[in-house]
Chain A
Amino acid sequence: MALIETKDIIKDYDMGKVKVRALNGINISIEKGEFVAIMGPSGSGKSTLMHIIGCLDAPTEGNYILDNLKVSQLHKSELAAIRNKEVGFVFQTFNLLPHLNVLKNVELPLMYAGMSSKARIKQAKDILDSVGLSDRLKHKPSELSGGQRQRVAIARAIVNNPAILLADEPTGNLDTQAGSDILSIFSELHAKGHTIIIVTHDMAVANRANRIIKIIDGKIVDGNIAA
């Protein structure tokens, strides 16, 4: 059984009178330890798919099985626990909390996991060290460069040691150099055994992955077989 399995997933958005079908029968299978890129033009449904994989959103129809768990049958608080422990998100706009310093931002997932203050400070410091930011602990996000902010976001995503790392256009707001640094971090994490899924429309980014899944108008057009 693969780590991620979707069966005929359909996702409709209710826009008042019109229903918009964002996903139309998605079947994918991703094994543990894969590095997958999901590509497609804007509006193709790739972000929606990522939200469903990350348990932020639920499909209208179809089944999603994550690590042998039928996600559609889980309670909301169980979904929160999965988002906390099994999934790490990295966003295009970083989504750091502006009023918290770097260390506090990275501590957040551990706090929601119920870890004691002392333990989580240590763990967060270790992770920030591994992304090369141990000298920026007390800085606010606004005092950092884009590349540094994204590294903080990655640290926050992996601090709870999740099985899956989900990234939505992680280099979209970065210059080439910073983007390439971030991608190198993803490659390192992949080498350490993390399962990584990057949503992008940048071919250079997608080429870092072992497999590219192409999605157009809510349907998979290419790449649904493990490489």
Chain B
Amino acid sequence: MAISLRESVEIGLADIWTRKVRTAVTVVGIILGVMSIMVVLAIVNGMNKSTLQWMEERGGLNKIDVHRNWEMDRKDWSLASFSLSELKLIRSLIPEAAAFTPEISDRSTGITKGELYFQTSVSGVFPDMTIVDEWNISEGRFINYFDINNSNNVIVLGSKAATELFSNHNPIGEYVYMQGQALKVIGIMQEKYLKMQGGWGGENALEYMNRRAFIPLTTMLHKISPNQTIDELSIKASSPEKALKLKTKLENILLNLKQGKKLFEVSSIKEQMDQMKQNSLMFTVIFVLIAVISLLVGGIVIMNIMLASIQERTREIGVRLAIGARRIDIFIQFMVQTILITTLGGVIGIVLGYAILNMVGTYLSMELVASLSMIYAALAVSVGVGLVFGIMPAVRASNLDPVNALRNE
């Protein structure tokens, strides 16, 4: 009949209370270890979350981009573009793609309206752009195939572009000018917003997208900037997995189309995402390792202090044995005490970790994601450290010879 766990806990708590300073010194290592685990995991979780958000705002994991291969031969430079008939051919070869749009950007001209001049990036696109980028219209309509076929003089403005040019007036049906062409405003894009991480360069990480404007690809090619060529494509697959397959297929199609010359680079956002996850995993592993090392050091410190404490309390152990404590009772007493100390350290570490996360989060305006499972993990780790490093001192205490222990001064 061993003493109950409740009694062991009572004895342990009383010991911790009587030896407050010693306990405080003992748990510092555990506190630091648990704290660093908390902070690192929260930072990594936060980074993953904001990366994912960024990717999603940019069109999601289904998106594939085709752009010029910057490593190609200079003499092939003029070949690296698509004609409208080549676009049709490519589209017909990838019927499984959910959406398809080429893109030509003019960053030099800007938009004028009377005296007002708004410097921006205007893109010539297909109607599918709204699907590829998962970016919808908030007012009016987007470019349609009728506009494409007729090279209509229409324009869709980003939300920032609209307010810069028209302030509070409704721009729909009004005209703006590019290269002497009057373009009728037919729609306004939804506002894009993503909280800036790290607090530099303004509030909204996607503000540059709200400054953009879109016109039909054909209008861009035939009326606004005839010297431009089509060298960028955006394609949407039906799922992230299919995006990887579609990417390979597109690479082959483009190679065949351009006589085996690798003039274009095909990249999938899913792939980029996986790469980023791999990088952040390495980061996580390194920092968790550092935290584990500090927990190990903390554990060794606790073991050392428990051994010293048992040395000091040899006589008490002798008395307990003399009045009927069994070895298992002594073992449990010291085991429970070690675990109580490490758990105490764990709890303090979690609380301090949270405080630090709050401070760092506000100061750097960074998103830090602390989850309940992290708290459970931190608690489990601190109990585990107590279990592992408590065994040796507890065994030593329970193996003391009663007579020798009583003689100890």
**Residues of chain A whose beta carbon lies under 8 Å from any beta carbon of chain B:** 51, 54, 56-57, 76-77, 80-81, 83-85, 88-89, 91, 95-97, 99-100, 108-109, 111-114, 156-157, 160
Contacts and interface: CB of A to CB of B under 8 A. Distances in A.
B325 A80 contact: yes
A195 to B, nearest CB: 18
Contact of A112 (B315, B318, B324, B403): B324
Given A56-B403, A76-B327, A83 B322 contact: yes
Contact of A80 (B15, B324, B403): B324
Given A95-B318, A114-B1, 8 more contacts: A56-B402, A80-B325, A80-B327, A81-B326, A84-B323, A84-B325, A97-B316, A112-B323
Nearest to B318: A95
A97 B321 contact: no
Contacts of B324: 80-81, 83-85, 109, 112-113, 160
A16 to B, nearest CB: 15
Contact of A99 (B15, B318, B327): B15
Contacts of A109: 323-324
A112 B3 contact: yes
B116 interface: no
A96 B323 CA distance: 11
A56 B406 contact: yes
A95 B406 contact: yes
Contacts of A57: 402-403
Contacts of A85: 324
Given A111-B3, A114-B1, A51 B403 contact: yes
A62 B89 CA distance: 106
A157 B319 CA distance: 11
A125 to B, nearest CB: 18
A108 B333 CA distance: 13
Given A51-B403, A56-B406, A112-B329, A83 B3 contact: no
A80 B315 contact: no
B5 interface: no
A191 B324 CA distance: 25
B7 interface: yes
B174 to A, nearest CB: 85
23 contacts: A51-B403, A54-B322, A56-B321, A56-B403, A56-B406, A57-B403, A76-B327, A77-B326, A77-B328, A80-B321, A80-B327, A81-B324, A81-B326, A83-B321, A83-B322, A89-B323, A95-B318, A99-B15, A109-B323, A111-B3, A112-B323, A112-B324, A114-B3
Which are the 9 A-B pairs with shortest beta-carbon distances?
Answer: A84-B324, A114-B1, A80-B326, A112-B324, A109-B323, A56-B402, A99-B18, A95-B319, A57-B403
Q: Which of A83, A109, A111, A156 has the most CB of B within 10 A?
A: A111
Q: Which of B15, B315, B323, B325 has the most CB of A within 10 A?
A: B323
Contacts of B322: 54, 56, 83, 89, 95
Contacts of B327: 76-77, 80
Interface in B200-228: none
Contacts of A56: 321-322, 402-403, 406
B312 to A, nearest CB: 12
A95 B326 contact: no
Nearest to B401: A57
Nearest to A100: B14
A108 B1 contact: no
Given A76-B327, A81-B324, A112-B323, A95 B315 contact: yes
Contacts of B15: 99
Nearest to B6: A117
A76 B406 CA distance: 17
Contacts of A108: 320, 323
Contacts of A112: 3, 320, 323-326, 329
B323 A156 contact: yes
A80 B331 CA distance: 14
Contacts of A100: 14
B326 to A, nearest CB: 4
A84 B316 CA distance: 16
B3 A99 contact: no
Contacts of A114: 1-3
Interface string B300-334: 00000000000000011011111111111100000
B283 to A, nearest CB: 47
Contacts of B2: 114
A166 to B, nearest CB: 10
A76 B14 contact: no
Interface string B113-137: 0000000000000000000000000
A89 B323 CA distance: 7
Contacts of A97: 316, 319-320
A113 B4 CA distance: 11
B18 A113 contact: no
Nearest to A51: B403
A100 B11 CA distance: 10
A45 B216 CA distance: 110
